[in-house]
Amino acid sequence: MRSSSILAVTVCFCLLVTTIVVGRIAPHPMNMAPVAAAALFSAFLFRNRLVAVAVPLAGMLISDWFIGFYNWRIMATVYVGLAFPVLLSQFLKGTNVLRILGCSVTGSVFFYLTSNAACWAFTPMYEHNLPGLIECYVAALPFFRNTVAGDLGWSAGFFGVYAAVTAWQAQRQPAATLS
């Protein structure tokens, strides 16, 4: 890999992690952070899946250092749920708006299902039976709405900026001349 490529990957990685950290620490509506969207975009941007999955995990770990840590079993589930969009990148080949939309919403649904199952399983907030699980999912519906809105908005931002920069770079390329 050329040194300019390594620099570009490093800069993009740091920008995405910084966006996650700032997006989580700065005041924002609950569950409208850029983590899952950054995971999806990093999977699209980076060829190496370990680099891609390191983006949301590093962003979460750094921001949790400031925000505070909590029940490790729930944290582990949340981290997995927010890194899950990296696996969806295989569906972004030939990327278009519908694929991004579908992957973003799929990631939101996965996060909703797993994080709330963990809340139900690892806390005494709900009875550990089917009605308790249903109560947990119902109570989390307002957060799910925010998760979907945040994931869609942040995904639009990441992929939109990428498309704009790519178009701008293409315009700056000198036109090929025919001899």
Give the global pTM.
0.87
Q: What pLDDT score was predicted for residue 6?
A: 84
Instruction: Write the pLDDT tens digit of every residue in 90-129.
Output: 777 767 888 999 999 999 999 999 999 999 999 999 999 9
> Is the dihedral angle over the CA atoms 62, 64, 65, 70 positive or is it negative?
negative
Architecture of the domain whose range is 3-167: Orthogonal Bundle (1.10)
Q: What pLDDT score was predicted for residue 101?
A: 93
Q: Phi and psi at residue 139, in whole multiples of 5°?
A: -65, -25
Q: What pLDDT score was predicted for residue 178?
A: 53
CA-wise closest residue to 74 among 39, 117, 109, 25: 117
CA pair distance 112, 169, nearest whole angstrom: 38
- Positions of the chain with pLDDT lower than 70, given as ranges: 1-4, 94, 174-179
Q: What pLDDT score was predicted for residue 170?
A: 82
CA-wise closest residue to 36 among 163, 161, 160, 149: 149
Break the chain into its structural domains and give their ranges.
3-167
